[in-house]
Amino acid sequence: MAIKLSDHFTFGRLLKFVFPSIVMMVFTSIYGVVDGLFVSNFAGKEAFTAVNLIFPFIMVLGAVGFMIGTGGTAIVAKTMGEGENKKAKEYFSFLVYVTIALGAAIAILGIMFLRPVAHLLGAEGVLLDYCVIYGRIILAALPFFMLQNIFQSFFVSAERPQLGLFVTVAAGVTNIVLDYLLVGVLPWGLTGAAIATAASQVIGGLIPFLYFAFPNTSALKLTRTKVYPMVLLKTCSNGMSELLGNVSMSIVSMLYNFKLIEYAGNDGVASYGVIMYLQFVFLSIFIGYAIGSAPIVSYNYGAGNERELKGVFRKSLILMVSTGVVMMASSFILSTPLSKIFVGYDKGLFDMTVRGFKLFSVAFLFCGVNIFASSFFTALNNGVVSAILSVLRTVVFQVVLVLTLPLVWKLDGIWFSNPMAEILSAVVAGVFFVAMRKKYKYM
């Protein structure tokens, strides 16, 4: 029997409901890792460095999809909780159509300014050419990537998280198979890897669009709708934290690359790229949980069900803390074999990556609570608090620490900047949890 947003959520039911979203995000991160693995081992270290230089810029452009998906889901699920199902479908449809239009416009602008941006990020010569080749192919599929991002959230509101998982698996398999054929078998190198990623994004965006465009048994369907400017404004307000989070992470990644070039040269950028791939696999569990649990929070907030809201909040914190402990221990154990898979062909690069990943992994103790906190306030339609948490975590603390810690600890200071930012962010999240408890009654 399918689990409904109106159900009572025990630990078991909560985990069962969010499990497809978690697996979906883990699988997304894994096929991203496979992409980097093929580029590093078959196209070479310079091509791998180019991908890691230009990819943050691409993620900045695609972050609008995350904003509309998370912010719109909060509104649609809350509207469903209030019993306005017809209006919820119209809001959903309007936001999908807006995403398509924005995706096309942003893709065109991104392609136009790709070369000067890559040069600004430090790419020169062959590295600059690699950035442009890879970036233009990926940006051509940007509207589908943005659709994929919003549907990941809306599948949960539609009470069909399993379908979201199916779509992600289909996209991931497409990417992996094409990586093998175009990079591992055919000598297409970086171009082949870009085509594989773009094709997977087309699959990830097109299949959900077709599902919701035709009659289905879910709680949502694409329908004729009106222009809802206030809904769009509220969506952007709600999802601003996710937009800022993704944009700032990409910008901070660029800053990390600059500092790493200063302290470790191009090898530092390659090492950081490996750590980011591996870190995202671990973080995807927290992100998947946040995506899966947010509609539950929004629905019960809209329905005025304080008891259920308290239960989901308490259970979520327990799960985030306990999972963080397991993740940190696992990353220490797996840092050597995982790094060897990527850069085992270069001992100096391998040793740097292992040490960096071990220092980075301390962040897992705290980042689950921080990711949930931002998502939780977005789900409560409080985009301001969510944005504050996100900006402090992904911009303010990171920038200050990555600029100051290396002055004392050099390269180790860069690696440890992220854990220190997560520790400070967890303190701020705790303050907001206590401060807002009476307004939303989740404690």
Q: Are 291 and 156 in contact (CB under 8 A)?
A: yes
For the chain (length 443 residues), average pLDDT per consecutive 10?
79 90 81 75 79 79 83 87 89 94 93 89 82 92 92 84 85 89 86 91 94 88 91 84 70 79 79 81 89 90 91 96 94 89 82 89 93 92 87 88 91 90 96 94 90
Q: Report the C-alpha gap between 356 and 281 in whole angstroms.
A: 16
Q: Are 238 and 74 in contact (CB under 8 A)?
A: yes
**362 DSSP assignment:** G
Q: Which residues contact 40 (CB under 8 A, 6 or more apart)?
A: 48, 270, 274, 342, 343
> What integer pLDDT is reported at residue 183 of this predicted model?
87
Domain ranges of the chain: 11-440
Specify the residue for token string 């695609």.
62
> What integer pLDDT is reported at residue 1 of this predicted model?
54
Q: Are 281 and 427 in contact (CB under 8 A)?
A: no
Q: Are 49 and 129 in contact (CB under 8 A)?
A: no
- The four Cα atoms 166, 41, 276, 141 give a dihedral, to 10 degrees, of -50
> What integer pLDDT is reported at residue 59 of this predicted model?
79
Q: Report the C-alpha gap between 142 and 58 in whole angstroms.
A: 9
Residue whose C-alpha is closest to residue 283's, from 199, 374, 197, 148: 374
> What integer pLDDT is reported at residue 2 of this predicted model?
67
Q: Report the C-alpha gap between 265 and 33 in whole angstroms.
A: 23
- The four Cα atoms 17, 20, 26, 32 give a dihedral, to 10 degrees, of -140
Give percent helix, percent strand, percent coil of the chain, each to the nearest 5: 90, 0, 10
Question: Which residue blocks in 82-188 are alpha helix, DSSP H?
Answer: 85-112, 114-120, 125-140, 142-157, 161-179
Exposed e or buried b for every residue in 36-65, given b needs 16+ CB within 10 A? bbbbbbbbebebbbbbbbbbbbbbbbbbbb
> What integer pLDDT is reported at residue 7 of this predicted model?
85
Tokens coding 395 = 């911009």
Tokens coding 53 = 């230089």
Q: Report the C-alpha gap between 156 and 295 in whole angstroms.
A: 7
> What integer pLDDT is reported at residue 209 of this predicted model?
95
